[in-house]
């Protein structure tokens, strides 16, 4: 092979990328009419065939639990006894009422879908397709249509995006709201009153969906809105006006569940994790884990290019703090000692990821000709192109792992259904799964009000199987146990004298 064949190949690929992006933008209406349904269909297929329409994280289950309660017009239901048996992570059980502790923004959106008879599994895939369109629009407004198209491609090929957009996590919803606000902030004409008011509505709902993420990501967006060309005091006041309804919702929600408009329902599960013991070492450990997840769930060279261009990008591609959003998220989370549990990539960074992809695309594809690029930039393009090419392999690897994990976690419910149980109580003993085990307290999944033929509870221990903490009147009790060596579960009837 000629020593020049490699550079020539990448030169041709670079030209093809630019021409392809220009073609896509020139035919944007047709692309959107075909691409949006296709993207939604692909994400639905991931949800149904890979993730098996299963809330793979306890967080996802709680969001659905809250949404179903809200759709019925309630924020809580009566506590079912014995309460300890039905304990679940992030669900608060008080003597008289039980409710989810997560922010209300995402459950409200899901509840609206339920009320409109839209399947919950369709919501995030639709939002995922919308996300790609918003990245395209934002890139076109911040830079050029070419950058918008190529940034959307970088996001679309990342399993990080695809798996989260196929899940029940709140990140896709929060990210779409923030991208929508950023698109409005990137308008040339920001003087109409409805622009800042709409931004306030969007970022307000984003904060209500994910408190910390919403606040951190709102700052760069609002600062970009306030760049020269508008009356800053008026614009900022209108943003606040747009966010007022969500402040009222948050205060009412807190007062109803926590007893005070100022006390967040998440407080018991989050406050202790800020600046916990050993935060400097543990923060560094978690940050390195998040960095590794970026390399495993996105085109690996993307994060390398991002870090390089943060230091070396020319002024022409700088957009205030927007390109620093990922760094801001990582920096704030350094002091929050929590890995995120089950996740597809560094999910706490999800909302900032499209902004990083936009910044990288703006710099990698800045020059109109490959030969005009500096050697460093040529290498970064080549590495990024190779990274994108291996994404199908990355996807299939993650799909195989996650499908196995989910099948193992579904095993208690699969076995109960296969056994044809009726009027039964299934106690789950310890952890479930070998590939990536899950605690029983994330698997005691029952419908709102515990109205189901089969209920799932925590095993109180062998010496209590015949006591009141392992019994529900009118139900036959079974014990589910995961066999770690055989990598399968067993279900047996508990017989008491």
What gap in Å lies between CA 138 and CA 338, rounded to an integer? Answer: 31
Residue 329 — φ and ψ, nearest 5°? -60, -45
- Rounded to the nearest 10 degrees, the angle between the axes of helix 391-409 and helix 411-418 is 50
Yes or no: say if 93 and 86 are a contact pair by the CB < 8 Å rule.
yes
DSSP single-letter state for residue 53: T
DSSP single-letter state for residue 48: I
Token representation of residue 475: 């139900």
Residue 455 makes CB contacts below 8 A (sequence gap 6+) with 86, 424, 425, 426, 446, 472, 475
The pLDDT, as a whole number, for residue 29 is 95
The pLDDT, as a whole number, for residue 133 is 97
Weakly modelled stretches of the chain, pLDDT under 50: 1-4
Token representation of residue 315: 């002024």
What gap in Å lies between CA 40 and CA 29, rounded to an integer? Answer: 17
Task: Specify the pairing of strand 438-439 against strand 431-432.
Answer: antiparallel
The pLDDT, as a whole number, for residue 3 is 45
What gap in Å lies between CA 132 and CA 157, rounded to an integer? Answer: 11
Question: Would you say the pTM of this structure is higher than 0.75?
Answer: yes
The pLDDT, as a whole number, for residue 141 is 97
DSSP single-letter state for residue 260: S
Yes or no: say if 479 and 492 are a contact pair by the CB < 8 Å rule.
yes
Yes or no: say if 151 and 140 are a contact pair by the CB < 8 Å rule.
no
Yes or no: say if 74 and 83 are a contact pair by the CB < 8 Å rule.
no
Yes or no: say if 452 and 459 are a contact pair by the CB < 8 Å rule.
no
Yes or no: say if 229 and 189 are a contact pair by the CB < 8 Å rule.
no
Task: Specify the pairing of strand 424-429 against strand 454-458.
Answer: parallel
The pLDDT, as a whole number, for residue 2 is 45
Q: What angle do CA 41, 44, 49 make, to 5 degrees?
A: 120
The pLDDT, as a whole number, for residue 82 is 84
What gap in Å lies between CA 392 and CA 29, rounded to an integer? Answer: 27
What gap in Å lies between CA 11 and CA 25, rounded to an integer? Answer: 21
What gap in Å lies between CA 35 and CA 30, rounded to an integer? Answer: 8
The pLDDT, as a whole number, for residue 306 is 97
Q: What is the DSSP string of 361-400?
A: HHHHT-SSSGGGS-HHHHHHHHHHHHHHHTHHHHHHHHHH
Domain limits of the chain? 5-50+105-396, 63-102+410-493
Per-residue exposure over 69-81, b if at least 16 CB sit within 10 Å of its own CB, e if not:
bbbeeebbbebbe
Burial class (CB within 10 angstroms; exposed 0-12, middle 13-18, buried 19+) of 407: middle
The pLDDT, as a whole number, for residue 6 is 58
Yes or no: say if 213 and 105 are a contact pair by the CB < 8 Å rule.
no
DSSP single-letter state for residue 183: H
């Amino acid at each position: 092979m000629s020593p020049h064949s490699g550079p020539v190949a990448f030169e041709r690929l670079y030209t093809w990328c630019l021409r392809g992006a220009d073609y896509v933008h020139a035919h944007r209406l047709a692309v959107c009419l075909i691409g949006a349904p296709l993207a939604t269909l692909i994400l639905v297929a991931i949800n149904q065939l890979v993730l098996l329409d299963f809330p793979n994280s306890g967080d996802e289950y709680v969001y659905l639990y809250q949404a179903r309660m809200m759709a019925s017009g309630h924020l809580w239901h009566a506590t079912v006894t014995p309460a300890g048996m039905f304990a679940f992570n992030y669900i608060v059980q008080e003597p008289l009422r039980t409710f989810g502790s997560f922010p209300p923004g995402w459950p409200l959106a899901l509840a609206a879908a339920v009320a409109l008879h839209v399947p919950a599994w369709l919501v995030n895939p639709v939002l995922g397709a919308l996300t790609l369109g918003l990245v395209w629009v934002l890139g076109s407004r911040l830079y050029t249509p070419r950058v918008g198209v190529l940034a959307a491609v970088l996001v679309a090929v990342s399993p990080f995006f695809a798996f989260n957009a196929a899940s029940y996590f709140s990140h896709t919803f929060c990210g779409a709201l923030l991208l929508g606000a950023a698109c409005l902030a990137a308008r040339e004409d920001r003087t109409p009153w409805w622009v800042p008011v709409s931004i306030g509505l969007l970022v307000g709902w984003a904060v209500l969906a994910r408190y910390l993420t919403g606040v951190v990501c709102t700052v760069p967006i609002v600062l970009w809105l306030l760049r020269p060309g508008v009356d800053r005091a008026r614009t900022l006041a209108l943003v606040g006006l747009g966010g007022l309804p969500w402040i009222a919702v948050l205060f009412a929600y807190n007062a109803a569940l926590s007893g005070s408009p100022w006390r967040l329902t998440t407080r018991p599960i989050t406050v202790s994790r800020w600046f916990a013991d050993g935060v400097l070492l543990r923060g560094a450990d978690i940050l390195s884990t998040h960095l590794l997840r970026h390399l495993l769930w996105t085109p690996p060279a993307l994060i390398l290019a991002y870090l390089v261009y943060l230091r070396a990008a020319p002024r022409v591609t700088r957009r205030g703090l927007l390109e620093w959003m990922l760094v801001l998220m990582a920096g704030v989370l350094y002091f929050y000692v929590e890995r995120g549990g089950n996740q597809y990539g560094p999910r706490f960074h999800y909302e900032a990821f499209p902004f990083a992809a936009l910044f990288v695309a703006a710099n990698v594809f800045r020059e109109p000709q490959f030969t005009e690029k500096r050697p460093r930039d040529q290498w970064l393009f080549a590495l990024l192109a190779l990274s994108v090419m291996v994404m199908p392999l990355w996807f299939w690897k993650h799909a195989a792992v996650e499908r196995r994990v989910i099948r193992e976690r579904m095993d208690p419910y699969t076995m109960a259904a296969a056994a044809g149980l009726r009027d039964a109580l299934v106690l789950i003993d310890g952890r479930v799964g070998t590939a990536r085990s899950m605690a029983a307290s994330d698997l005691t999944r029952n419908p709102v009000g515990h109205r189901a033929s089969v209920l799932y509870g925590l095993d109180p221990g062998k010496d209590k199987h015949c006591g009141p903490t392992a019994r529900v009147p009118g139900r036959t009790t079974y014990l589910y146990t995961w066999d770690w060596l055989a990598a399968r579960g067993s279900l047996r009837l508990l017989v008491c004298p």
